[in-house]
Every structure is written in structure tokens, then in C-alpha cells.
Amino acid sequence: MAVLEKNFLISLAEDAVKSALKLGASEAEAYVYDGQATNIGIELGQISKTHRIIDRGIGIRVTINKAIGFAYTNIIGDPQAIKDAAAQALSAAKASKSDPDWYSLPQNNPYPKTQDTFDQKIVDLSPEDLVKIASTLLDTASEVDKRVFPIEGGVGSGYAANAIANSNGIAAFDRGTITECSLATLAKDTNSTTPVCFEFDASRNHQLDPLRVGKEAAKLAISALKSKPVETQTAKVILTQLALQDLFAYTLMIAIKADSVQRNQSPLKDKIGMQVASENLNIYDDGLYPGGLRTAAFDGEGVPQQKTKIIEKGILQNFIYDNYAAKKDNKESTGNAARAEYLSTPSISTSNFHIIPGNKTPQQLLAEVEEGFIIYYLQGAHSSNPISGEFSVVANPCWKIKNGEITHPCRAIMLAGNIFELLKNITIVGANERQMGSIVAPWILAEGMKIIGK
């Protein structure tokens, strides 16, 4: 991969800020992105496609009389295109309305050192290297059992660098790498098809484990064969990381955003210092988690990322902020302004949402369940009520637990409830932590879950 130089990206950002100020902006900020990715794709049981992308661009945010305008372009090789984007950001600001709550763009602050976010080996990976990993992944899965069909998956490597500059003196650069592999499988026998089963591995360093991913994806599909219907009941449920992430992403992780709180959209408003979850639950939003998929030195508006305590022993401690929401509450940003690269203005988002592990192994967690279910994936979590936290979703695949043992897969069951009730009913937090998209979490055990079956 040929990547753009640090100084070049910073100077692009600084020049754009200067252009915007010259055109009459009261404040200006420019965010430059250089992203590259290579992917080897598995489809219908074979490695059959490749994907390579270079995506670069600049997003310019300006204010005039507290009205905010933004423009982006992906043509960064042409200084005139960037000047045009600056002018467009100004015209957008002029068309917009003043926001009396606007304080300012962030000030310059020292940045923390991040750990394990960049690995030159990933940048240097050749397509041949990726094909080798993909072959291992596919071969391993195919060897587990003939009834397994690898539907899709792949292996990818990515590099992303960003530079940010603003009229308050911020001028910073950060870069990171990621490599990932994944496999979606299903198993078929004479008269049944399993739901799609999925395994993956992702890392900021070059240390993928395609053997584990291939084997687990296949084993999961086989164990989902021959599902049985379930009666409607109230039961103990173990949620694995993917299910937990799905459920939290559309409820809890929205409710802790300062923006939701300020707009009266969060049931957690006025609950700081109060018990909102079981005593077993400790959660940090950790923008500096070593090797975290969302770890970076600074956020989308150049504020240092940090570790923020969200819930300690079930007591709500903090919300997460960008600079705008923080100033509205007379606080400092927690470094949680996220961006869709150069294409969007910053908005509040969790970084690595870290559910602190307990000390029970998966076996010990299962042993706590005389009668219950273990859920791997949820269907329809995005249809949850983002404000009340109510959900009504399908657990699929899901397995029955009896006397501490997983006995058999269940036909898709429905799970209905409210996330803020569920938080109070988490009786045990497991020890088996892993990273999964935006969360770092172990399995959890929740009691009193409403299960709707046949």
C-alpha cells in the first residue's frame, strides 16, 4: 500500500482551515482521511473475489455567527477543489441558522499515547498473504463436517490515517491498521437448514487466527441442526458477545450519549449516582483500550480520547460527550465525537464499550443455569425503541441449557423486554472477554427474561 505522508495530510488540513478563514469563517476545522483496504472474499464455498479500495477525502466544518456549515470532497489532489469545498462549507453555514448553544471548536490539548493500534506488517501484507489466510479459513471449516456450507466471508487488511486541524491551533495526525477474517456458515441436513452462524477475528496487529474462526463457524452451524420448539416462559438467559452488542447498540449505548440526555430522550437523565443496573455490572467507555478496534489518540474533532467510567457496581457515573454537548453542560468533552470519515460532521458515539469481566468461566456460567437458554445472535435488534429501551427481537440461533449443559438448539424464539430492566437482572458477568465491533465484553447471565415460543 502506498500511503500518504503525515506532513502532507496535516498541511492539507491546515491549508483548508486557512482558506475557510480567509473566506470569512469565524472558525474552521478540516479533517483529512486516507483509507485503503484489500479484501479477499469467500462466496458460496470458494474464494472467488477480491476487493481493493483507496478512499481519500477532506471534510471542512466552519462557523459563522454560531451557524455551522460543512462540506466535503473526495478530490484532494486539486487545491482548487479544496478551496471550493471551503467555500461550500461557508455557503452552507450562511444558509443555516445560528445556534445560541454553540460554544466553539475544541481547544488544543496534549494527546495520549495509544497502544497496539498500528502494525507495519499489516500495511505490508500482500494479496498472496491474504489468500493464504482465506484458504486456511475455508479449508478448516470444510474439514469439520460435510453438512457445513461456508456461505460467505473473507480476509481483509486495512489502513486508515487522519489529520485534523482547526482555527484553535489543533494540528494532529494519527494512523491505524486493522486486519480481520470472518466466515458465515450454515448447515443443512435432509429436512432442515440452520440459521446463519458466524465467527470472526479482528485485530489491530497482524495476528489473526483463521483456524479458530473456520473451526468455530463450522461447529456452531452443526450444533444448530435439529432445533426444537420452545414453550413461552420466563427464564435465565446467557447472552454471548454478539447478542449483547446488538441489544446494547440500539438502546443503552444511545441512552448514555449526552445528546440523548440533553434532548430528553434518555431514561438515564437525572440518574447519575443512582443504581441503574445490577451491582455486578461495571462499564467503561475506553477510547484508549490497548488494541481496541476504536482506539485512537484523538476523536473526530481532535479531542484526546480517554477512558470514561459509565457504570460502577451498577451505579451510573457519567455520560459521553463531544465538545458541543460538553460545553452545554459546562463540562469537558470525553473524546467521543465520531465521524463517518470525511463524509460527515462529528456526532457522539461510544468508542470501545468495555463491560468489565467477572471471574466465572463459560462452564461455570452455564453451571449456574438449571433451566434456560444461551443466545448467540439476535434478529431485529435495530427495531428496538431507542428511547424507552424496549426490545422485541428474535433469538436465532439459540440453544437450550439444562442442568448446566447445552442440550439442543431451539427454533427461533422471541425475546421481549426493556434494556433497563435487563440491566438490573444481570446476575453474573463472565470472564471470557472478547472484542466484538464496538464492545469489549464477556458473556453475561440475566434472569427473568420473557421468552415467547410455540
Q: Which of residues 28-57 bind another protein (CB under 8 A)?
A: 38, 40-41, 43-57
Q: Does residue 342 come out as left (phi exceeding 0), alpha (psi in the -120 to 50 range) or beta?
A: alpha
Min. distance of Cβ 176 from another protein in angstroms?
A: 19
**Choices 115-123, 157-165, 257-265, 436-444 (CB under 8 A): range interacting with another protein:** 257-265
Asked if 94 and 68 count as a contact pair (C-beta separation under 8 A), the reply is no
Min. distance of Cβ 305 from another protein in angstroms?
A: 22
Asked whether position 72 contacts another protein by CB under 8 A, the answer is yes
Residue of 199, 235, 192, 240 lying closest to 216 (CA atoms): 199
Residue of 404, 295, 346 lying closest to 31 (CA atoms): 346
Q: Given the complex with another protein, which of 197 and 288 has the nearer CB atom?
A: 197
Residues of this chain, 350-369, that bind another protein according to CB under 8 A: none
Q: How far apart are CA 299 and CA 295, in angstroms?
A: 9
Q: How far apart are CA 407 and CA 374, in angstroms?
A: 10
Q: What is the contact mask toward another protein in residues 144 to 183, using x (rule: CB under 8 A)?
A: -----x-xx-------------------------------
**Choices 103-111, 123-131, 158-166, 286-294 (CB under 8 A): range interacting with another protein:** 123-131
Q: Given the complex with another protein, which of 127 and 290 has the nearer CB atom?
A: 127
Residue of 277, 160, 251 lying closest to 439 (CA atoms): 251
Asked whether position 442 contacts another protein by CB under 8 A, the answer is no
Residues of this chain, 262-291, that bind another protein according to CB under 8 A: 263-265, 267
Question: How many amino acids of this chain bind another protein (CB under 8 A)?
Answer: 89
Residue of 167, 166, 225 lying closest to 194 (CA atoms): 225
Q: Given the complex with another protein, which of 355 and 449 has the nearer CB atom?
A: 449
C-alpha cell, 382 = 435495530
Q: Given the complex with another protein, which of 315 and 387 has the nearer CB atom?
A: 387
Q: How far apart are CA 244 and CA 338, in angstroms?
A: 22
Residues of this chain, 200-239, that bind another protein according to CB under 8 A: 232
Asked whether position 92 contacts another protein by CB under 8 A, the answer is yes
Q: How far apart are CA 6 and CA 450, in angstroms?
A: 53
Min. distance of Cβ 209 from another protein in angstroms?
A: 21
Min. distance of Cβ 323 from another protein in angstroms?
A: 13
Q: How far apart are CA 407 and CA 421, in angstroms?
A: 28
Min. distance of Cβ 339 from another protein in angstroms?
A: 12
CB 32: neighbour CB atoms within 10 A? 28
Residues of this chain, 299-338, that bind another protein according to CB under 8 A: none
Residue of 151, 157, 160, 158 lying closest to 199 (CA atoms): 151
**Choices 4-12, 64-72, 237-245, 273-281 (CB under 8 A): range interacting with another protein:** 64-72
Residue of 294, 293, 254, 298 lying closest to 386 (CA atoms): 254
C-alpha cell, 155 = 480476509
Asked whether position 391 contacts another protein by CB under 8 A, the answer is yes
Asked whether position 388 contacts another protein by CB under 8 A, the answer is yes
Q: Given the complex with another protein, which of 12 and 355 has the nearer CB atom?
A: 12
End-to-end CA distance of the chain: 54
Strands 315-316 and 378-379: unpaired
Q: How far apart are CA 202 and CA 209, in angstroms?
A: 9
Q: Given the complex with another protein, which of 329 and 405 has the nearer CB atom?
A: 329
